[in-house]
Amino acid sequence: MAQSFLMEVCVDSVESAVNAERGGAGRLELCSSLLEGGLTPSLGLLQVIKQYIKIPVYVMVRPRGGDFLYSDQEVEVMRKDIELMKSHGADGLVLGALTEDGRVDSELCMELMAAARPLPVTFHRAFDMVHDPAVALEALISLGFQRVLTSGCDSSALEGLPLIKRLTDQAKGRIIVMPGGGVTERNLQRILEGSGAQEFHCSARSSRDSAMKFRNTCVMMGAAFSAPEYGLKVADISKVRTLNAIAKNTL
């Protein structure tokens, strides 16, 4: 019997969310600032998306870019964001925290998981920054995470494929190991066949030029390496459809 794979698409706009659902996504990961790897989105964005979308929306809880070692104040913000997202329709949450020596911060995660209950929680790609992935996976299982998003601790899920396979085998169904990071129509089949995964994560985005006619090219809103001011990246319905078709044809 053909296997069905669940496609999760990360989105940071209403348009991307609508395109992802239309293209066949089974779940959304809602963020802001995908260029920074995804940060906590606004409540306004969550509420509007929930008006447009029927598939589950899992909300990123990540107060800033950079590492996953959080101060007490940042933890306060994360707890507050969890409460707010929960009360405004989040179907699940996505979070993660590490200790300074690169282990899962079980104490903090336990606290955040308690705040998140009864929603399902995904441990995000902080996992790719751990010192010992096999030990970290057991920690996540003990804590009650429903899934872990990972590129196999490498630059992309394709490079990390051998580890993703080992983690999937180690998990034995106790946690969902979801490959993500650089997943495209060119490599999806290899990733699904090589990992044994049931779900996968992608952004399926394409670039689009800004509709602005008047442009001031002297000014940049962020750091020099940030996104171009007059460009947009949006989930592309045809890319989502193609990825979904590949997943359906993969045995």
Encoded tokens for 139:
């920690």
Q: What is the pLDDT of residues 113-143, one digit of tens each?
A: 999 999 999 999 999 999 999 999 999 999 9
Q: From the CB of residue 82, how many other CB atoms can be counted at a distance below 10 Å? A: 25
Quote the pLDDT of residue 221: 83
Quote the pLDDT of residue 1: 42
Q: What is the pLDDT of residues 40-52, one digit of tens each?
A: 999 999 999 999 9
- Where the chain has pLDDT below 50, the residues are 1
Quote the pLDDT of residue 250: 76
Cβ-Cβ contacts under 8 Å for 78 (sequence gap 6 or more): 61, 63, 70, 95, 112
Q: What is the C-alpha end-to-end distance of the chain, expressed in Å?
A: 8
What is the rounded CA–CA span in Å between residue 78 and residue 65?
13
Q: How many CA atoms lie within 13 A of 102 on its CB side?
A: 9
What is the rounded CA–CA span in Å between residue 110 and residue 226?
34
Is residue 203 within 8 Å of 235, Cβ to Cβ?
A: yes
Cα-trace Rg, the chain: 18
Long-range contacts of 209-212 (CB under 8 A, 24+ apart): none
Cβ-Cβ contacts under 8 Å for 163 (sequence gap 6 or more): 133, 150, 152, 153, 154
Cβ-Cβ contacts under 8 Å for 202 (sequence gap 6 or more): 7, 8, 9, 10, 180, 183, 184, 188, 243
Quote the pLDDT of residue 110: 98
Instruction: Indicate if the alpha-carbon torsion angle 239, 245, 248, 251 is positive or negative.
Output: negative
What is the rounded CA–CA span in Å between residue 147 and residue 150?
10
Is residue 203 within 8 Å of 23, Cβ to Cβ?
A: no
pTM: 0.95
Q: Which amino acid is at 248?
A: K
What is the rounded CA–CA span in Å between residue 185 and residue 219?
35
